[in-house]
Amino acid sequence: MRPSAGLNSLGFAKPPAETRVVVAMSGGVDSSVVAACLAEQGYDVVGVTLQLYDHGAALAKKGACCAGQDIHDARRVAERIGFPHYVLDYENKFRESVIDEFADAYLAGATPVPCIRCNERVKFRDLLETAKDLDADCMATGHYIQRRDGMDGAELHMAADPNRDQSYFLFSTTQEQLNFLRFPLGHLASKAETREMAAKYGLSVADKPDSQDICFVPNGNYASVIEKLRPGAADPGEIVDTDGNILGEHRGVIHYTIGQRRGLGIGGLGDPLYVVKLDPEARRVIVGPRKALSTRIVPVGEVNWIGGGSFDSGEEREISVRIRSTRPPRGAMLRATGPRTAEVELLEPEEGVSPGQACVFYETGGTRVLGGGWIQPRR
């Protein structure tokens, strides 16, 4: 972020030494570099790390965040650079706001994205309020996304490096939160630059691997976590085709996702079959041909709009949308159907659109994030 005349690099009209910034430190290289860089610039840095889940379980899991070794790593960075560091126990908040909903969403046949809920309900809500309680002027994170000052206030834009862009996971950031947040890494051309900076500061996390999967899910085994949280969740049931014909038995709806082809146990039936719908109430997995996965109309709920103006003004908007974090934005038409609901019409059909995933809105041909919402089941 380039400072305007008379403003420091974080956008405040006062010296860095008089600007307090709380840095959300996960223990990884990104947030560690943010803290070190801001401290070097002379800001009044306060590091805060959240303990989100059981210490003992986390110590044995590599590639996680916000527990065990990561808390230790964040503390070491703070000690080396010389700024205060606090660990806050958010285990109960995290379970209530993220983990419980994750389990319930899977039980309802959806495919949730808990990292978005964590940003929305824990880091950018509860932690942000803590930062304000600490009299901070702003809170900085290591996310790869850009905040720019626009004509009508702060705007959210994709990161300069498309391979590191995290805008999909931050669509639910509100305008009020965006005014308080800063993302110092969003302008970098590559992750290699971040690691070079970490090495320059002599940080022990310079070569630390990026976190993988969902932090509270050991080895990516979602089903085992859900079974532990909701006993009986993996009860078997029928695999049926789109006409209701029974083709086999499954080992629990929670083991399947929309678009899945492998592991169905119903081979030898002709053309390949894919999971096209989940019916948890009837304990049924519905399968069909690949063309049955094709979707053009996507209902969206819990819309967060940061694109300026009134969201439900009645006008149809041409935008770009991303319905998977790993897919590039695609052309679409956006129609508001209520204050926080919408219908998205994809210009080209997509496969594997799954309830519970995010649908993120972008400016057509640009980098600005306009908001987004959660994909709803089709009636």
User: Annotated active-site positions, please?
Assistant: 118, 215
d(CA 189, CA 111): 32
Give the Cα separation of 189 and 292 in Å (integer). 39
Per the listing, tokens 């019916």 go with 279
Task: Phi first, then psi: give them for residue 283, nearest 5 degrees.
Answer: 55, 45
Alpha helices in the chain (DSSP H): 29-40, 55-59, 69-81, 91-94, 100-107, 114-118, 128-133, 175-180, 191-200, 222-229
CB environment 119-149: b (16+ within 10 A), e (fewer): bbbbbbbbbbebbeeeebbbbbbbbbbbbee
21-34 per-residue burial string, b: 16 or more CB within 10 A, e: under 16: bbbbbbbbbbbbbb
Q: Provide the β-strand partners of residue 147.
A: 156
Measured in whole angstroms, the distance separating CA 199 from the mean position of its chain's CA atoms is 27
Contacts of residue 136, defined as CB under 8 A and 6 or more positions apart, other chains included, come to 20, 21, 22, 46
What are the angstrom distances between the C-alpha of 379 and each of 105, 109, 333, 354? Answer: 17, 14, 20, 13
What CA–CA distance (Å, rounded) separates 74 from 275?
A: 42
Both tokens of residue 319? 């935008």
- What are the tokens at 131? 């930062």
Q: Which of 296, 299, 245, 255 is nearest to 275 (CA)?
A: 255
